[in-house]
């Protein structure tokens, strides 16, 4: 675990969360609005909760827990009232478990997903947000996605892969969406132009439809 934790030190979070990111804040609001269509209160666990920025947006009707490998980030999250646990902690009965942009970073994803599902209440939701989808046209054309980070990735997820895994683990997939068109990161004209330029060999990093997915799976 020590070597993994070395990948998520203070500078990692300072580089990613330096100052206010308006687009990220808007993404949080949209994702929370989608979550509230399925579950509106209870006990929530954010896997890879970072400094607690996402859970902080949820009101006091939620009892908030997080799993976080970084000691620096875990301390920041704890200061926001988030209870830090790990996969082996005897803490269950969650109404909602969130993996936001994290499944690709888990070193034992199937084993860890089984542990999470065991913690989930019957009728509770396992939710994947901001999750890369290697079944996208972007990945098929270029063999990568802007949000992938090879030295930190253990799994390259796709929509079909995750849906099959979740069904085999006994969950019902209620919804899968690809939130590009409503995303604050989307700029359709520019993004499609950059896609064409990349086909011609000019590397660009940009949002594109199908690159990211959200999955809502019920126990």
Q: Helices (DSSP H) in the chain: which residue ranges?
A: 2-5, 10-16, 22-35, 71-78, 109-119, 137-142, 159-168, 188-199
Phi and psi at 192, nearest 5°, equal -70, -35
What the block records as the tokens of 31 is 């994702």
pLDDT the model gives residue 8: 87
What the block records as the tokens of 74 is 């875990």
- Which parts of the chain register pLDDT below 50? none
Of 205, 215, 208, 214, give the one whose Cα is nearest residue 137.
Answer: 208
pLDDT the model gives residue 2: 55
CATH number, domain at 133? 3.40.50.150
Q: What is the maximal distance between C-alpha atoms in the chain?
A: 53
The whole domain housing 88 covers: 2-218
Instruction: List the beta bridge partners of residue 66.
Output: 46, 84
pLDDT the model gives residue 14: 76
Domain count of the fold of the chain:
1
pLDDT the model gives residue 7: 84
Using only C-alpha atoms, the chain has a radius of gyration, in whole angstroms, of 17
Do 109 and 154 form a contact (C-beta atoms < 8 A)? yes
């Amino acid at each position: 675990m020590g070597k993994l934790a070395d990948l998520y030190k203070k500078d990692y979070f300072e580089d990613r969360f330096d100052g206010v990111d308006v687009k990220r804040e808007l993404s949080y609001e949209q994702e929370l609005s989608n979550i509230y269509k399925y579950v509106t209160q209870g006990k929530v666990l954010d896997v890879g909760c970072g400094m607690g920025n996402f859970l902080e947006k949820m009101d006091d009707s939620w009892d908030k827990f997080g799993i976080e490998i970084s000691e620096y980030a875990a301390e920041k999250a704890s200061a926001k009232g988030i209870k830090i646990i790990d996969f082996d902690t005897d803490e269950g009965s969650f109404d909602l478990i969130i993996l936001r942009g994290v499944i690709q970073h888990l070193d034992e994803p199937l084993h860890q997903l089984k542990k999470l599902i065991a913690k989930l209440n019957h009728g509770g939701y396992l939710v994947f947000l901001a999750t890369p989808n290697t079944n996208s046209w972007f990945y098929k054309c270029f063999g990568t996605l802007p949000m992938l980070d090879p030295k930190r990735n253990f799994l390259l997820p796709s929509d079909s892969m995750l849906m099959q895994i979740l069904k085999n683990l006994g969950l019902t997939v209620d919804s899968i969406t690809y939130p590009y068109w409503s995303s604050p990161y989307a700029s359709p004209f520019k993004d499609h132009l950059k896609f064409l330029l990349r086909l011609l060999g000019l590397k660009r990093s940009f949002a594109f439809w199908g690159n990211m997915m959200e999955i809502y799976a019920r126990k």
